Amino acid sequence: MADTTPPNPANPLAGPHVWNLISENYTNGLLPFFEHFSREALRLAELPPSPLLADVACGPGTLSLMAALEGARVKALDVSPEMLEQFRRRVAESPLIPPDRVEILEGDGQNLPWKDETFDGAFSMFGLIFFPDRAAGFKELKRVLKPGRRAVVSSWAPRTGPFALVLESIAELLPGYPFGKGKAPLGDPDEMAGEMRAAGFRDVAVHRVEHSERFASLDAFWKRTQSTAAPLALLREKLGREEWERVSRGVHDRLRDAVGEGPLESPGLANLGVGVKPSAT
């Protein structure tokens, strides 16, 4: 029988397990979508020529490889060994990137292994938002930055469209689970700006960046979402196959009633928080 008790309230998205579960599907299915936000983050960082960058909670290297192709050197870190394997595979398959241009480490973004004032830019794309101690994550980004340089951190604004309907449907089908409840981490621009200022950044600004994906059908959207969304991967593992298939059918039926069989558009709205490390006085 499937375990139908609510999950542990501690945030499981902070650890490696769920990202290991979805690493291959995430890499194969989501890179074009996330590249849009990484491209904007690199622009907002106002980097010097041939910069040295820190990419914290780097996943499969979305931002790192884009930056390396433009001439940057990157030190990248993530808690998930399977995500890092996907990253290493992508580096090996990229003939335009010299192997010494990207350094990949497994580690904790709340305790970075790098020296003070090392980097020309520091990034955490949809990763720091899940840290148990976000304040430590922000302070570490500032610590390793050179004075006068910028950190860029991204988060999701409250979701809308088909993905929001997925969360709402699961909440209806499994009332004991926290899907669709609570606020998105750093989903409020003022909250993000406040945490960056509290960490010691100046000239903080939060930019709203929207990018939508189009799917040929509802089935294509739901298949991709099930295989790449971390909360759904954890839920599927917890419920077991039989109970998950019941929930999946229920979600699909609710989506069909709301948006039809497709094609459909799934919007993504991100907050990109930018802060400057103060120069020494």
For residue 262, what pLDDT is reported? 83
Q: In which residue are the tokens 């926290």 written?
A: 178
Distance CA 144, CA 75 (A): 11
The secondary structure of residue 258, as a DSSP letter, is H
Residue 179 pLDDT: 64
When the pLDDT of each residue in the chain is averaged and rounded to a whole number, the result is 93
The share of the chain scoring above pLDDT 90, in percent, equals 88
Structural domain contains residue 186: yes
| Alpha-carbon distances, residue 95 vs 28, 57, 69, 83, 254 (angstroms) | 19, 24, 10, 20, 45
In a domain, 65, yes or no: yes
Query: What does the pLDDT read at residue 10?
Result: 61
Mean of pLDDT values over 163-188: 86
- Across the range 27-40, mean pLDDT stands at 96
Give the domain extent around 78. Answer: 12-276
Q: Is residue 4 part of a domain?
A: no
pLDDT above 80 for 220: yes
Quick check: 79 pLDDT over 90?
yes
Task: Please check whether residue 217 lies inside any domain of the structure.
Answer: yes
- pLDDT of residue 2 exceeding 70: no
Q: What is the pTM of this model?
A: 0.92
Is residue 12 pLDDT above 90, yes or no?
Answer: no
* 70: in domain: yes
pLDDT tens track for 95-152: 898 878 999 999 999 999 999 999 999 999 999 999 999 999 999 999 999 999 999 9
Helix (H, G, I), strand (E, B) or coil at 5: coil
Output the furthest CA–CA distance in the chain (Å, rounded): 64
* 266 has a pLDDT exceeding 60: yes
Q: What is the pLDDT of residues 147-159, one digit of tens each?
A: 999 999 999 999 8
Q: Which residues contact 229 (CB under 8 A, 6 or more apart)?
A: 22, 163, 166
Task: Report the CATH number that the domain containing residue 125 is assigned in CATH.
Answer: 3.40.50.150
**Residue 131 placed within a domain:** yes
43 found inside a domain: yes
Q: Residue for token digits 């979805």? A: 22
Residue 216 lies in a domain: yes
Of residues 185 and 2, the one with the higher pLDDT is: 185
Please give the Cα distance from 5 to 239 (Å, whole number): 9
CA torsion sign for 163, 169, 174, 178 is positive
What are the residue ranges of helices labelled H in 145-187?
Answer: 161-173
The tokens for 38 are: 């990484």
Task: Please tell me the total count of domains within the chain.
Answer: 1
Given a cut of 70, whether residue 4 has pLDDT beyond it is no
Q: Is 138 helix (H, G, I), strand (E, B) or coil?
A: helix
* pLDDT score recorded for residue 181: 65
